Amino acid sequence: MLKQTILGTLLFSSLLLADKATIFAASDLKFALDNIKEEFLKQHPNDTLTMIYGSSGKGMIQVEKGAPYDLYFSANMDFVEKLYTKGHIVTKPKLYAIGRIVIWSKHKEFNATRGFENFNAPWVKRITIANPLHAPYGEKAKQAMESLKIYKALKPKIVFGENISQTAGYISTEAADIGVIALSLALAPVISDSQFNQYHLIDNKLHEPLNQGYGITKVGLKSPLAEQFYKFMQTKKANEIMEYYGFVQ
C-alpha cells in the first residue's frame, strides 16, 4: 500500500512538472520544425509541443488578436518586428534562416534546367504560387516574375495557395501543372524521395531576401518551455536540421 502511494505521488509530481507550449510557424517550416521538435522532446519527454502551421501574415494577425501561441515563427522577419514594436512579441526578433524558392512540377515534360521557360510550355495551363498578400514565399515568387517582366502575362494562369504548403499541395495533386514553392518543401522526403524530385532553384537576385525570424509572444512570456525551445533553435543540432532542408544563415 505504501509502495503504491509513493508511486502515485511520483507520477502526480511528474505530471505537475510537465509543461506545454503552442507554436505558430510558417508552412515552409513544416518538415524542418517537426524534426527539431522531435529532437527537443528527447530532452523533454514529459512536455508537449503543439505546432500550428499557416501563412506568416495570417499568423501575425492571430498573434495580434491574442491567439494562444507561445512562439511565432515567420517567413518574413518584418512581421516579427512589427509584433515586437507593438508589444505582442517580447523577445528581440531573431533571424533563424534565409529561405529560398524553387520551381517544381510533377509533369513528365518539366525540365528543371529551363527554369521559368517552363511556364510558357503548352502543357502549362495552371501555375500556382502562395498568395503574395500574406504569404512571404508568394511575395518573393511574384517579385521574381516581375523582375523578369513575365508576371502580368502569366497572371491569368496563376492559382494562389493560402500558404506555401497548400501551394505545394496543388502541384502534388495536379490541381496545378507547375509552381513556385519553398526549397525546404522540395527537400522534404515526400518530394525528394519520389520520382518527381527535380526542381529549379530560383536566383535569389530576382527577389528580396527571405529573411525569416521568430520570437516569444506575450502569451508565452510565462512559459519556461517556450523559452527552452527558443534557445534550442540556436543549438548546433537545430542548425544542422535547418541546413538539411535548405535554410541558410
Per residue in 215-234, pLDDT (tens digit) is 999 999 989 999 999 999 99
Is pLDDT of 15 > 80? no
Answer whether 54's CB lies under 8 Å from 84's CB. Answer: no
What homologous superfamily does CATH list for 2-98+210-244? Periplasmic binding protein-like II (3.40.190.10)
**Residue 2 banded pLDDT, cuts 50, 70, 90:** very low
Question: What is the tens place of the pLDDT at every residue in 104-152?
Answer: 999 999 999 999 999 999 999 999 999 999 999 999 999 999 999 999 9
Paired residues of 80 in beta bridges: none
For 245, other C-beta atoms within 10 Å of its C-beta total: 24
Is pLDDT of 3 > 80? no
Question: Strand, coil or helix: what is 73?
Answer: strand
Asked if 2-98+210-244 and 100-206 have one fold, the answer is yes
pLDDT of 14 reads 42
Question: Strand, coil or helix: what is 21?
Answer: strand
Q: How far is it, in rounded angstroms, from Cα 128 to Cα 102?
A: 12
Question: What is the tens place of the pLDDT at every residue in 49-104?
Answer: 999 999 999 999 999 999 999 999 999 999 999 999 999 999 999 999 999 999 99
User: pLDDT higher for 157 or 9?
Assistant: 157
pLDDT of 51 reads 98
pLDDT of 215 reads 98
pLDDT of 68 reads 97
Average pLDDT over residues 150-169: 96
The DSSP symbol for 19 reads -
Answer whether 62's CB lies under 8 Å from 24's CB. Answer: yes
Question: What is the tens place of the pLDDT at every residue in 165-202?
Answer: 999 999 999 999 999 999 999 999 888 777 778 999 99
pLDDT of 12 reads 43
Domain regions of the chain by residue span: 2-98+210-244, 100-206
What global pTM score does this model have? 0.87
**Residue 175 class from Cβ within 10 Å (0-12 exposed, 13-18 middle, 19+ buried)?**
middle
**Residue 81: partners with Cβ closer than 8 Å, 6 or more residues away:** 93, 213
Extract the C-alpha cell encoding 98. Answer: 534565409
pLDDT of 248 reads 84
pLDDT of 60 reads 97
Nearest by Cα to 215 from 65, 85, 84, 98 = 84
Nearest by Cα to 181 from 217, 127, 230 = 127
Q: How far is it, in rounded angstroms, from Cα 249 to Cα 169?
A: 27
pLDDT of 17 reads 61
The DSSP symbol for 79 reads H
pLDDT of 193 reads 75
Q: Which CATH number fits domain 100-206: 3.20.20.30, 3.40.190.10, 3.30.70.1450, 3.40.50.300?
A: 3.40.190.10
Is pLDDT of 23 > 50? yes
Q: Which residue has the cell 534550442?
A: 232
pLDDT of 4 reads 52
